Amino acid sequence: MIFFSTNQISLIEGDYPEEGSNEILIPSYVTEKFFNKGVDSSLINRKLKLSVHLNGEVSTKTYRVSGIYEPNESMIVNGTLDFYVPYQEDGLLDTWLTEETYQYLSESMPYESSTEYTYVNPLFDNYDRYVEAIGTGLGNMVVVADSVEDVDALSTQLEELFPNLSQRSRFSMVNVDYTETYDYIFRLNVISAAVGIVLVSLVCLSINRYVLKKRQDEMSVLYSQGYSTKSLKFIFLSEYLITSLLNIVVTFIVLFISYQLYFKHTDLNAALIRAFEPQQILLVALLLLLTTFTTVLLILREINPKNLLKQLKK
């Protein structure tokens, strides 16, 4: 359980926790786990008991659900689903501002010999400079943009105002500190997707060739009865696409039932929660159908008068 997070989330029911309250904002997937029901407005104001780890001790605390949010992609990938509570001061500012803390930090931090952190050294030149650098004592800041279009410009301004601080955002991921990492991950994903498509295409091509070979006798008989090669190609293509579509539907039904009966109630749910969204299912189905259609087109050339007549003579 955490007390704050800078992750972008989408509120789907209720509201954010009010400061100073015992309210909590929960991810949508846990509504099934804790309340045995899907996202519903009736869950708002329900009581929820959670184990809280603080200062090495574990205690049980009761919270009131103020809202439900939809996890974003980064949470799904990392396998973490955060519970949000109201903002809380840590109450340590007075401790940070004491001269004893200043003396301890100036003597213990190994920045003097590190060229990587040379910008930190001036902060310990004297006590007044240290107090100025501590500021509010808070390590996080939320900056709200008026619109999505303003995010890039706002990120650039923050980079200029705080050149020595790393900004973890989608803008910096693509344009600043993490450009190389982002490009590497992007290339890796593209290459992985391309390799996957090629492998699936080769498998489909091999299967299609086998199926066509098994049906050569039938095709040649139809050809002898007056069917054109164009009609035979259409028959083969239609049958194979219909069969492939039925296989895809049956596969997704089996996977969906398995998810609802088993995986949804395990720790794997966080990783699989997006896999069964309608958009994801439609995308995978279209990709498989497109791959099947393309590979079938490649072997339709084998349905020609020469091969059909050759088969009739056997």
Q: What is the mean pLDDT of each run of 10 residues along the chain (314 residues)?
A: 53 85 85 72 85 76 88 62 74 77 75 54 79 75 79 82 69 62 79 82 76 74 80 82 83 82 71 69 79 76 75 68
- Confidence (pLDDT) at 91: 62
What predicted TM-score, i.e. pTM, was given to this entire model? 0.41
58 by DSSP, 3-state: which? strand
Q: Are the CB atoms for 27 and 74 separated by under 8 Å? A: no
Q: Are the CB atoms for 133 and 124 separated by under 8 Å? A: no
- Confidence (pLDDT) at 2: 39
DSSP output for 143-172:
---SSGGGHHHHHHHHHHH-TTS---SHHH
Q: Are the CB atoms for 252 and 285 separated by under 8 Å? A: yes
- Confidence (pLDDT) at 121: 67
Nearest to 244 by CA among 203, 274, 190, 273: 203
Which structure tokens are listed for 85? 């509570």
Q: What is the CA radius of gyration of the chain?
A: 30
Q: Distance between CA atoms of 192 and 290, rounded to whole angstroms?
A: 18
- Confidence (pLDDT) at 1: 36
Alpha-carbon dihedral sign for residues 283, 285, 287, 290: negative
